[in-house]
Structure formats: C-alpha cells, structure tokens
Structure 1
Amino acid sequence: MTSNFRHVALIGKYQASSAGAIGESSRQALDGIARFLQHQGCSVAIEAETASNTGLLHYPSLTVEDIGARCDLGLVVGGDGTMLGIGRRLARFGTPLVGINQGRLGFITDIPFDTYQATLPPMLEGDYEEDLRPLIQACVMRAGQVVFEALAMNDVVVNRGATAGMVELRVEVGGRFVANQRADGLIIASPTGSTAYSLSAGGPMLHPSIPGWVLVPIAPHTLSNRPIVLSDATEVAVEVVSGRDVSASFDMQSLASLLHGDRILVSRSAHCVRFLHPQGWNYFATLRKKLRWNDGDP
C-alpha cells in the first residue's frame, strides 16, 4: 500500500499517571498502532514526551516543533484533552491531526480505538474529510502591558475563586460597551468549545462551520443575562471591575491570576487546527452518539 502520509507522528497523553508514566495498556496501544502504521508503509515517530512517558524508545522521538516541520500527519491517541493540547501547539504548522479515542467523550478524537485498523487505511490513502477549527488568541493586559497570553481551542473563562463571592466584569464587543455583568464568571467559547464547559453552563451548541463565538455567563446575578452568539471577527474585551481571587483560564490549561482593572482581550487567531475525519463523518451523528440523542429514522 502507498500512503499519502509518509511520515506520521504518534502523540499520546501528555500528563503521566500518578506512578509517573502512562499505563501499560496505553503503551501497548501506541506500540500496536505504530506497528500497524509501519505495515501501511508509513515512517513512524513518537512525540518526545509521549516516548518518555511510555518507554517507547525504539522509535524515533521528535519534539512538537520537529513534528510540525517534518511530519505529514499527527495521530493523537487519547481523549479530547490530549487533542486540545497538541492542536494548539501544531496549528501554526498546519499539520493535519487524526484522533483515536481512548478517553470518555471524544467529540474531536472521533475514531473508536477498536475500529482504527479498518478506518485508517483509506484515510492514509487520501479518503477523508477535512475540518478546520479556528483558535482563540487571548491576552491579559495590565496597566497597558501584556502580562499573559495564550491560545485556546475551546474557550476562555474568567471566574471567581472557590470561596469568593460574585465577580463584576465589564464586557465590550468590537469596542462597544455591552454591560457590567455580575456572575460567578464568564465563558467565551468557540464552536469547538460550545459542547464543553459552555454547554454545561447553559450555552447553545454552535456548528463548527459558524464563524462565531458564544458568550455565556456563569450563574449570573440577573436572570435576564443570557448567552449570546457573536461574530468571531470582532474583539471581545472583559475587564475585572470587582471580586476576589479572579482568574482567567484558556482551555482549562493555563491560568492567570487577575487584578482589578485587568483586561482580557479575545480575538480570532490567524491559525486553525486541521482535523481529518473518516469519509462520511457527520457532526450531527457525533452529537447523536456523544449526547445520546434519540437516533430516530436513518
């Protein structure tokens, strides 16, 4: 077989277990996938942290930057959190990503582990559907200076501390004042993130093709303060007016402690994450399966 993707990088869970390494079952899964890819004519490398955590040292090991520069495809084995982490880092290289699900939900790591041997070969030959997901670019401004910046694929969340009361946040969209919101916090979610924390807080689901965000208050003081869908062509600014222990998180990965007067600026990044799905992939079928909707008639 001749593969369209000659050089494939395998990426597993970034966070090791409490024992200090990825479990034996995960190591065996990655090794099995690597051997399968080699039988398909692919040259296989392991992402450096994955190799270190699994002990799979008999394959070439590459940093994320090397993967972006040298590999045709990234194959992510894990859950959505694993995909979010590597997606943010590889987006600037345009490296396409395929997800094999070993997590619980799997909205973006959508190939079940027990089907990869049947699903991957046609994809490696070029029979797939491409799905571009824009990233969020965010920064924290303090006294006119950038003190923190990050990329996010799912969401930017501003919220109160665990024991603190409500926060008050001044919200501007496209330079225009929207409202001062008193709530436990505020979520700015991409279409990808609209099925994550935003959904739990009562926000709507956005189809991935929509160039927009959803602004979702968390437990707002005023019940008429409802989620709103915005164009992602405009910048959103959130200023901390009052509250204690206020922080901002970006995909629940990076945290920044905030002071009164700090401004979180959110805009669309120039980079997109490239997901590849099996031919016939359908977003609504994913929702039916993951959210356990009634299938109805085919």
Structure 2
Amino acid sequence: MPTRFRHAALVGKYQALGMRGVLQDIAQFLGRQGLEVSLEAETAHNTGMTDYPALTPEQLGQRCDLAVVVGGDGTMLGIARQLARFNLPLVGINQGRLGFITDLPIDQFEEALAPMIAGDYEEERRTMLEGGVWRDGRMIFEGIAMNDVVVSRGATASMVQLKIDIGDEFVANHRADGLIVGSPTGSTAYALSAGGPILHPGIAGWVLVPIAPHDLSNRPIVLPDIGEICIEIVAGRDASVSFDMQSLASLLHGDRIIVRRSAHQVRFLHPRGWSYYATLRGKLHWNAGL
C-alpha cells in the first residue's frame, strides 16, 4: 500500500525565467506538508537557492523517497535517467509546453500534490533503452535513453545507409536521413513527428522509424522489446547517434549501434484519476471541435 513520503528531492529547469521563485514556492509548500527538502545540486547552484541541502543525483537517489521535477519533458528526461536505478518515484510539474510526462499544471500543484504526498496517487512504470557504439570490437560510447536512440546523417552530408539486425536476424537496409528507435514514451516525441505510431506505455515494445527514407516502402514497425537491435553504418559521412541528449558525432563506416531494453524502469506518480488517454486528448487536441 502507498505510504506517506518523507524526503523530497526538488529538481528544476533552472534556465527558465522566474524559476527561482517557483521553486521556492514549491519547496516551502513541501516543507509545510512535513517533508524534508533537498535540491538537486545544479538546480541549487544556478538559482542561488541556499536554504536547502544541495545534493548530487546519486545522493538524492540514496536519501530521498520522492522527486518533484519542475519544468518540461526535457528536464524530466534528464533527471529520470539518473534516478531510475534508485527506484525513486517522480512527479512532474509542468513549466514547459507539451508536458506529456510532466503533467501537473503549475497553477494547481498544491491541490494535486497534497494527497499524493499523503500516499493517494496512481503509479506507472516506463521502460528505457540502453546500449552503445562498437568500433573494431570495443565499445567507444554508451548511453541510456528514456525517449529514443536516433542515428542521423551529417548536417551537410547526403543520406546514410544503415544495416539493421534484430537479434541474429538481418532485417533491412535503409537509405534515409536517419533512424529512430523509440520507447513507448518516445513514441510521442521525435518518432511521432517522423510518422511513427503512438505506443501505449503498457506495451512491451519499441518503434523503429526511418527518417525521410529513400524507399517509401521503408515504413515504421513496432517490435517487441526483447533481444537487441544492431544498426550498422554502411555508408554516409558525419553520421551521429544520440541517446536522448547524449550524443556521439562522426561515426565511421562499420560502427555498430547496439540498443536493448534497460534493466531499470522509471516510476511516475500521477494524481488519482489520471488517464493516459486524457493526456493524449489534451496534448494532441483530439477533442478539438467537440
């Protein structure tokens, strides 16, 4: 059964105008609810807030039992990857634009957070991707992603040619501007704008979405999230790979990007009555004209 939280980590999009005042309001509210509050170190440093302990993400994961993230989905992605291995639940307060995974409106955070702190909430878990880049038999880069792994052509170069294997089986050659391997969470991000399908977060799958493919028959495909996906650079200059916001540029021919399901999951908490479909309706304007 859910229990009351005791120690909250507070993480904010410190670049946003007026964020210090917002974070102070939220920290004071959490304190009035009886929680000990610690700030993520970069948030504390860049806002100049000194009234609360400033801890690294690792320290937050070890000492806190709840993380409150204030900003947009990018802020949530950045901290969620770091806290997932500690099994720390996260609540998102939306100070951005779309807010698929930071779903509490900033002007309603008090009435939404108060019952959640007391243990009245709904929880969901999201899978992540992990992997790396292999060159000449050794790993030269590794990363973890909550949204997607994206292989892209160079900024001034023509398209790349990619060879895709899933497990031990050859699947396809793609000539395209790039390729997206997206999690269910990432299916509403870059993969969606590239024409991919939306995956419900309860589905144990990935989307594989070519970006502007040369052959129009190269279509998005939904895959089970078992085994490994191997993407080999066959041709093209200055290709790069990105695991969410972690990038490696100047991939060489023969480099292999290996992607698999991460052993860790992200825990999200939502107010009672939260609905994934309601989120889609609101963010994608599916109820327009009604």
Q: The residue matched to 1:266 in structure 2 has which SS?
A: strand
Alpha-carbon deviation of 1:191? 0.2
Corresponding position: 1:37 with 2:30? yes
Alpha-carbon deviation of 1:254? 2.7
Name the residue aligned to 1:89: 82
Name the residue aligned to 1:47: 40
Residue 191 of structure 2, aligned match among 187, 190, 198:
198
Alpha-carbon deviation of 1:253? 3.4
Q: The residue matched to 1:32 in structure 2 has which SS?
A: helix
Name the residue aligned to 1:289: 282
Q: The residue matched to 1:132 in structure 2 has which SS?
A: strand
Measure the CA separation in 1 of the matches of 2:245 and 2:211.
Answer: 15
Aligned residue pairs, count: 288
Measure the CA separation in 1 of the matches of 2:70 and 2:168.
Answer: 41
- Where does the alignment leave 5 or more consecutive residues of structure 2 unmatched? none
Corresponding position: 1:219 with 2:209? no
Alpha-carbon deviation of 1:234? 2.0
Name the residue aligned to 1:207: 200
CA contact (8 A) 1:148 1:256 kept: no
The correspondence of residues 214-253 of structure 1 with structure 2, limited to 5 A, is: 214-253=207-246
CA contact (8 A) 1:172 1:238 kept: yes
Alpha-carbon deviation of 1:221? 0.5
Measure the CA separation in 2 of the matches of 1:254 and 1:165.
Answer: 20
How many percent of aligned residue pairs carry the same amino acid?
Answer: 66
Measure the CA separation in 2 of the matches of 1:79 and 1:115.
Answer: 16
CA contact (8 A) 1:136 1:153 kept: yes
Measure the CA separation in 2 of the matches of 1:62 and 1:38.
Answer: 17
Name the residue aligned to 2:52: 59
Name the residue aligned to 2:95: 102
Measure the CA separation in 2 of the matches of 1:284 and 1:257.
Answer: 40
Name the TM-score, length of structure 2 as normaliser.
Answer: 0.97
Q: The residue matched to 1:163 in structure 2 has which SS?
A: coil
Spell out structure 1 runs of 4+ moving beyond 2 A.
252-257
CA contact (8 A) 1:168 1:243 kept: yes
Name the residue aligned to 2:155: 162
Alpha-carbon deviation of 1:135? 1.0
Counterpart amino acid of residue 11 in structure 1: V
The correspondence of residues 63-212 of structure 1 with structure 2, limited to 5 A, is: 63-212=56-205
Counterpart amino acid of residue 226 in structure 2: A
Measure the CA separation in 1 of the matches of 2:137 and 2:252.
Answer: 13
Q: The residue matched to 2:260 in structure 1 has which SS?
A: strand
Alpha-carbon deviation of 1:257? 2.8
CA contact (8 A) 2:230 2:257 kept: yes
CA contact (8 A) 2:180 2:209 kept: yes
Name the residue aligned to 1:278: 271
CA contact (8 A) 2:143 2:246 kept: no
Alpha-carbon deviation of 1:176? 0.4
Q: The residue matched to 1:217 in structure 2 has which SS?
A: strand
Alpha-carbon deviation of 1:255? 2.9
Q: The residue matched to 2:9 in structure 1 has which SS?
A: strand
Alpha-carbon deviation of 1:180? 1.0
